[in-house]
């Protein structure tokens, strides 16, 4: 065979294989298009799609945290405020300014629901206004206006006179009824002693209304009968102290005295859980304790940035911050028993017989 014929035959075979290769490539591309059209895009894209889906969760959304600012406060303020504790071991060293005549405030408010001994009976203004509100409510309930405020603020000199007179009358070395000068709440302007026209005040009968409702006005019975070992003062049913809302509600509802309440607040410091208390309108308050910075003359005190708050010293070593959370407390519902026990049925029977 000649070389030309042999070359021609080889070229024809090469063209034949080129045609077969082209046909194979076309078949592969066509199948790939069919697969994409019927099965979607690549597996990697499918994984990316599922990764972008939101994750399912059963956890409730968290509430935004309270934001705090800091204010610089003088450490002398430890001895000022509605919650200062003054007793047999903690003398009063606060200011005696900002006192007002209770009688004058009564004139301003056109109040006739109770009386004041004279115009020299002085208290802190906030206490005067809350006393008037309490006794107005009592008068509207009972039509009785026989209560008299016998004393409020006392000077150290007057307190010492009363203390010496009590020792002389009892023969005791230390009085259980009158605090020493300097250690008396009467120097704060945050307490009063009550009496009645021509009688002593004992808080019984129609006057039990005062004990039942005084906490609604930020007032507590300062020296309860069952707390004499703590207060070191004998039961005084006539002695009422202003501490503010909602602290009075907690003292009343938990049957404690002021000493016990101030001690309890150490367990609710700024860094840990705060104490929450609801007032009579079910408004929720938050309270915490913050120790004074003893390295200097002032303390940088954290306070709520966007809430109304008040600060009181405890007259010992720190500050108590109280603020309205702006929330309502969760209502408490009474649980109704499914069926009565035999003891309940017997009680119901007695009540029906006596009615």
Per DSSP, the three-state class of 231 is: helix
Q: pLDDT: is 93 or 58 the higher one?
A: 93
pLDDT tens-digit map of 77-118: 999 999 999 999 999 999 888 899 999 999 999 999 999 999
Phi, psi dihedrals of residue 269, rounded to the nearest 5° = -85, 175
The whole-angstrom separation of Cα 84 and Cα 73 is 16
Whether residue 222 is predicted with pLDDT greater than 70 in this model: the reply is yes
Least confident of 58-72, 235-249, 290-304, 325-339: 325-339
Q: Are 79 and 86 in contact (CB under 8 A)?
A: no
Sequence spans of domains, the chain:
64-83+255-334, 91-242
CATH topology of 64-83+255-334 equal to that of 91-242? no
Secondary structure letter of residue 64 according to DSSP: P
Q: For strand 147-151 and strand 115-116, is the pairing parallel, antiparallel, or unpaired? A: parallel
Rounded Cα distance between 254 and 261, Å, is 9
Arithmetic mean of pLDDT, 179-192 = 95
264: three-class secondary structure by DSSP = helix
Beta bridge partner(s), residue 132: none
Predicted pLDDT of residue 3: 45
DSSP character for 176?
A: S
Q: For domain 64-83+255-334, give its CATH number from 3.30.200.180, 2.40.70.10, 3.40.50.720, 3.40.50.920.
A: 3.30.200.180
User: At which residue do the structure tokens 């004058």 appear?
Assistant: 104
Question: Which structure tokens are listed for 186?
Answer: 């009467």
Inter-residue contact 240 to 221 (CB < 8 Å) = yes
pLDDT digits (tens, 9 = 90+) for 5-56: 444 444 454 454 454 444 444 444 444 444 434 344 333 433 443 444 445 4
- What span, in angstroms and rounded, lies between the C-alpha atoms of 200 and 196? 6
Q: Are 249 and 279 in contact (CB under 8 A)?
A: yes
Neighbours of 78 (CB within 10 A): 22
What is the assigned CATH class of domain 91-242? alpha beta
CA–CA gap between residue 115 and residue 209 (Å, rounded):
17
Selection from 265, 263, 181, 251 nearest residue 223 by Cα: 251
pTM higher than 0.85: no
Q: Does 342 have pLDDT greater than 50?
A: no
Phi-psi region of 276 (alpha: psi -120 to 50; beta: other; left: phi over 0): beta
Active site positions, annotated: 236
């Amino acid at each position: 065979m000649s070389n030309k014929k042999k070359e021609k035959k080889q070229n024809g075979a090469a063209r034949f294989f080129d045609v077969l290769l082209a046909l194979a490539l076309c078949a592969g591309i066509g199948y790939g298009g069919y697969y994409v059209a019927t099965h979607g895009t690549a597996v990697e894209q499918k994984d990316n799609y599922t990764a972008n889906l939101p994750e399912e969760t059963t956890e409730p959304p968290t509430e935004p945290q309270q934001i705090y600012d800091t204010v610089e406060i003088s450490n002398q303020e430890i001895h000022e405020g509605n919650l200062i504790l003054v007793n047999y071991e903690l003398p009063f060293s606060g200011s005696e300014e900002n006192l007002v005549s209770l009688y004058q405030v009564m004139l301003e408010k056109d109040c006739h629901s109770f009386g004041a001994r004279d115009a020299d009976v002085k208290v802190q203004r906030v206490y005067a206004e809350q006393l008037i509100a309490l006794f107005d409510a009592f008068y509207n309930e009972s039509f009785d206006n026989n209560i008299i405020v016998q004393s409020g603020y006392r000077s150290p000199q007057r307190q010492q006179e009363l203390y010496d007179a009590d020792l002389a009358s009892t023969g005791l070395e230390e009085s259980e009824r009158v605090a020493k000068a300097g250690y008396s709440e009467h120097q704060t302007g945050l307490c009063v002693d009550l009496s009645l026209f021509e009688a002593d005040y004992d808080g019984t009968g129609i006057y039990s209304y005062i004990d039942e409702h005084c906490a609604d006005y930020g007032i507590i019975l300062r020296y309860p009968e069952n707390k004499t070992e703590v207060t070191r003062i004998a039961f005084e049913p006539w002695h009422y102290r202003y501490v503010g809302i909602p602290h009075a509600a907690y003292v009343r509802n938990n049957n404690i005295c002021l000493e016990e309440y101030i001690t309890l607040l150490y367990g609710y410091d700024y860094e840990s859980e705060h104490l929450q208390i609801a007032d009579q309108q079910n408004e929720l308050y938050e309270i915490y304790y913050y120790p004074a910075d003893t390295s200097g003359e002032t303390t940088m005190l954290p306070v709520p940035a966007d809430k109304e708050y008040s600060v009181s010293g405890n007259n010992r070593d720190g500050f108590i911050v109280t603020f309205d959370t702006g929330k309502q407390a969760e209502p408490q519902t009474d649980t109704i028993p499914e069926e009565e026990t035999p003891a309940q049925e017997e009680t119901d029977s007695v009540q029906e017989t006596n009615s």
